[in-house]
Structure 1
Amino acid sequence: MIKINGRFSLTFLYTVVAFAMAIPALHAQSVKHQHYDIAAYVWPAYQPEARFKDIGVFKDGKGEWEAIYNAKPKFPGHNQPHVPLWGYTNEADPKVMEKKIDAAVSHGVNVFIYDWYWYDGKPFLENGISKGFLGARNSNKMKFYLMWANHDHNSYLDYTATDKSKIYWRGGVDRATFDTMIAHVIKDFFSKPNYYKINGEPVFSIYELSTFIKGLGGIKEAKEALDYFTQKTKEAGFPGLHLQGVLWGAIPAGLSATPGDTTQTQNNTVLDLGIKSLTNYQWCHYVPMDRYDRWGDKAIEGWFKFSKDFTVPFFPHVSISWDPNPRYPGKKVQGMVTNANPVDFKRFLIEAKKYLDGHPNQPRLITINAWNEWAEGSYLEPDKQHGYAYLDAVKEVFGKK
């Protein structure tokens, strides 16, 4: 007890006890109202891209929608075709994107991560961002950043092709190409006020670290290129560059900075390259296909392994499903996830939120596959089967931003 003017103050004691008892509730309230960035990947192939003609695909002029509305079920109960509630829209049209931005933001999705391509010295599918998203009158409602999808582009994109091994464009680039590419990125994207930043640094994600390293000629050359990227970003007025790596389970064998490819050397590779965070693009990259509930539980176990193996922050990722069969219309069933549903998806979002709350020293960013991966069966956009149920799940966990 405390003596005030020679007397014990029970009022003071009760005040102290009440405040102490309130601390857990205050902490819970602060966590509940904490801001989370919910970032959905965007696959910008649902547009009349001129370069589709160069490779002879999607002759209907609607981009990969052609594979979606031509898809057929391969077995009883197979959920094909997926039918978009909003129709087969052109995502390079600003008016189309205005509706999609409003739907995303009103349900808690406040960042789009655009799959972004650079082949043969020029961009591919870029009108989805530059004309559609950035041309929308309400684009300032949400942030965006780029994931450089630097994989080889092969004939998987041609749903009519029986041979999927044909390479249209190589994803690896040399140093001169890289320098030209990043000059465009800094000038035309980083400069936008709604480009997503962490600690003031524009975030730029790299899909295949292995392809990037091989294209440049090795770890040393890759590091020099990324150091130059950071330097040019600073010269443009930013405090630095936040490089994000997409993790497929491990840094590929033979590409670590030191021999052995152990967990430690993989972490050293990430650090040597200046990668500041890691996330995933799709759970199928590190978890074999399964029933959705089991698939997700195994994927979530991976979050804690990644956060233990690497010293840079890992941002949890949630996938909605995986079914690439629209790209393979033959009789053979491609590997797929079964029983995907909004209820389990919501459960996995709750786990992602718990993960971030348990890692309070890193930004609260969650990535989702995807906003519109219709050809892979993984999308937040409403369809005629589930309506808005997947978007509603995001809203129920994270609320309107």
Structure 2
Amino acid sequence: MKSAGWMMRSRRGAIAITAALLLSFVVGGSSPTAGVVRPGLLVGAYYYLWWPLNRTDGTLRAHLIPRQGPDPTQRASSNPATAERDISQAQSAGINFFAVDWWPYRPWDDANLGAFLRARNLSHFKFCMFYETWTLGFNDGNETTPVTPGKELQFDVDMLRFARTVFSNHSYLRINGRPVVVLYLTRTLTGDVAGMIGGARRVLEAHGYDPYFIGDEVYWRVTQENPPSVGSTLTVQPQVARMRLFDAVTAYTLYSEVFTGYPGETAVVAFERRLLQTYCRATNGVVPVLPVVSPGFNDRGTRLLTNHPVQARQWLPGEGPSSTLDQMLRRVAIPSLDPNQPILFVTAWNEWNEDTGVQPIAGTPTKLDDSVTGSLYTQGYTYGGEGDSASQTLHRDIDEAKAHLLTDVSTGRCPN
């Protein structure tokens, strides 16, 4: 959605901006480092249950010449075979859990979640809930999601319904025995956020659940928890009180119009590392900051009129289709891992409206699209023919991340 100088993921609105663990972690394993016991690496990817329905919102791949994109006959979220294939491919890439997107008032989401849960290989994988917090009433005018007593109750009901549905599943992701819930766009919440999060914890605890909440708090500019009545609601300062309500924080995306084109020609590495460090230091490392990585960004297939510039999948001209993913993993995400809570998110497994998908995809490399200029959608960058290059890159770099954790002798929680 259109925002006042900052970006957020939106499937209906626009975006703007100024500026794994080995599975043993889930069941209690660990790896020794410098005389201390530390958990192993957890790698999760955001996963969507909306295919092929969401193709109607538009994708870049549908405008390429030749036309490309996920095969709707092979990728329907209503078919358990789709989840089985995705789980198998994700495991091969080194991913060990999906953060499954869930809108609480969409019947097809519930039905498709049921199909996902019937995947025969789910018992060898993990998943957690990725809750669409802006369903509570995001205000596009001032970029806020105000917390009211009614919204607190709605949040309680949503959390309890999902908990009763899936927390008992043996494949549900737990950290130290606590079921993980990722909350999208908490950085827009205003008002009695503490009451809402604390109230949900009490409701869940009354039913025997102790949730591990991960908030989407990290970004270049965020909404003030208690914004002024006059003036901008936004700030570049981490909202520490809001951050402390969560067990960990992350970013869904760090896309910025400042760092578009070929990322290797920008200062994106230095700025993202500094941002993650700033958020970590805001709580003196008490609240873990979990890095995120994306293969690129292009939402022009769904939001052409907003004219967001492309962040190419190629790090530099002539480099491979997963070189941006590779560089951001090795130079930002891996060095920014919290050694005491090493969790890394990938945005995303199968998000093709914003072209951040990393799942294997067929196609032919091309810069040509079906616009009047032949490049309104691609902006002259190459798309198509990625195949399983992202999976191979993830597998290689995740192995590197595990080695990094084994040799990391740092005692602080915040990266340098």
TM-score (norm 1): 0.70
Q: Where do 1:276-355 residues align within 5 Å?
A: 276-284=247-255, 288-293=259-264, 294=266, 296-297=268-269, 298-310=271-283, 311-328=286-303, 333-340=307-314, 341-351=321-331, 352-355=333-336
Do residues 42 (structure 1) and 10 (structure 2) align? no
CA contact (8 A) 1:289 1:295 kept: no
Q: Which runs of 5+ in 2 are unaligned?
A: 1-31, 315-320, 364-384, 403-416
Residue equivalent to 1:111: 97
Q: Where do 1:167-316 residues align within 5 Å?
A: 174-209=151-186, 211-213=188-190, 218-219=191-192, 222-238=193-209, 240-247=210-217, 248-253=219-224, 255=226, 266-271=239-244, 274-284=245-255, 288-293=259-264, 294=266, 296-297=268-269, 298-310=271-283, 311-316=286-291
Residue equivalent to 1:11: none
Q: Which amino acid counterpart does residue 146 of structure 1 have in structure 2? A: M
- Quote the Cα distance in structure 1 between the aligned partners of 2:268 and 2:136: 28
1:323-372 per-residue CA deviation (whole Å, 9 max, x = no partner) reads 01111366x7432213533123123222322332xx322x2110011001
Q: Which amino acid counterpart does residue 213 of structure 2 have in structure 1? A: L
Residue equivalent to 2:381: none
- Quote the Cα distance in structure 2 between the aligned partners of 1:153 and 1:237: 25
- Quote the Cα distance in structure 2 between the aligned partners of 1:261 and 1:376: 24
Do residues 142 (structure 1) and 125 (structure 2) align? yes
Structure possessing the higher radius of gyration over alpha carbons: 1
CA contact (8 A) 2:187 2:216 kept: no
Q: Please report how far the alpha carbon of residue 313 of structure 1 lies from its aligned counterpart in structure 2 after TM superposition.
A: 0.5
Higher relative contact order (CA 8 A, sep 6+): 2
> Does the C-alpha gap of structure 1 residues 34 and 80 become closer, same or farther in structure 2, counting only changes over 3 Å?
farther
> Helix, strand or coil for the counterpart of 1:184?
helix
CA contact (8 A) 1:117 1:124 kept: no
> Does the C-alpha gap of structure 1 residues 171 and 319 become closer, same or farther in structure 2, counting only changes over 3 Å?
farther
1:213-261 per-residue CA deviation (whole Å, 9 max, x = no partner) reads 4xxxx22xx32332232123323334x221111123354125379xx99
- Quote the Cα distance in structure 1 between the aligned partners of 2:396 and 2:91: 13
CA contact (8 A) 1:84 1:382 kept: no
Do residues 67 (structure 1) and 53 (structure 2) align? no
Q: Which amino acid counterpart does residue 245 of structure 1 have in structure 2? A: G
Residue equivalent to 1:389: 389
1:16-60 per-residue CA deviation (whole Å, 9 max, x = no partner) reads xxxxxxxxxx959x99x973111101132214xxxxxxxxxxxxx
CA contact (8 A) 1:149 1:206 kept: yes
Q: Which runs of 5+ in 1 are unaligned?
A: 1-25, 48-61, 74-78, 155-164
Q: Which amino acid counterpart does residue 379 of structure 1 have in structure 2? A: G
Q: Where do 1:152-167 residues align within 5 Å?
A: none
CA contact (8 A) 2:127 2:173 kept: yes
Q: Where do 1:72-91 residues align within 5 Å?
A: 72-73=63-64, 81-84=67-70, 89-91=75-77
Do residues 360 (structure 1) and 331 (structure 2) align? no
- Quote the Cα distance in structure 1 between the aligned partners of 2:334 and 2:205: 32
Q: Which amino acid counterpart does residue 102 of structure 2 have in structure 1? A: W
Q: Please report how far the alpha carbon of residue 99 of structure 1 lies from its aligned counterpart in structure 2 after TM superposition.
A: 1.2
CA contact (8 A) 1:101 1:139 kept: yes
Q: Please report how far the alpha carbon of residue 86 of structure 1 lies from its aligned counterpart in structure 2 after TM superposition.
A: 8.6
1:113-141 per-residue CA deviation (whole Å, 9 max, x = no partner) reads 1122124xx6562333222x211011112
Q: Which amino acid counterpart does residue 114 of structure 2 have in structure 1? A: S
TM-score (norm 2): 0.67
> Does the C-alpha gap of structure 1 residues 199 and 180 become closer, same or farther in structure 2, counting only changes over 3 Å?
same
Q: Which amino acid counterpart does residue 193 of structure 1 have in structure 2? A: H
CA contact (8 A) 2:155 2:200 kept: no
Q: Please report how far the alpha carbon of residue 309 of structure 1 lies from its aligned counterpart in structure 2 after TM superposition.
A: 2.2
Q: Please report how far the alpha carbon of residue 95 of structure 1 lies from its aligned counterpart in structure 2 after TM superposition.
A: 1.2
Residue equivalent to 2:86: 100
- Quote the Cα distance in structure 1 between the aligned partners of 2:297 and 2:238: 31
> Which of 110, 119, 123 pairs up with 1:126?
110
Q: Please report how far the alpha carbon of residue 195 of structure 1 lies from its aligned counterpart in structure 2 after TM superposition.
A: 1.3
> Does the C-alpha gap of structure 1 residues 114 and 255 become closer, same or farther in structure 2, counting only changes over 3 Å?
farther
- Quote the Cα distance in structure 2 between the aligned partners of 1:397 and 1:150: 31
- Quote the Cα distance in structure 2 between the aligned partners of 1:323 and 1:110: 26
CA contact (8 A) 1:97 1:136 kept: yes
- Quote the Cα distance in structure 1 between the aligned partners of 2:155 and 2:47: 23
% identical aligned pairs: 20
> Helix, strand or coil for the counterpart of 1:204?
strand
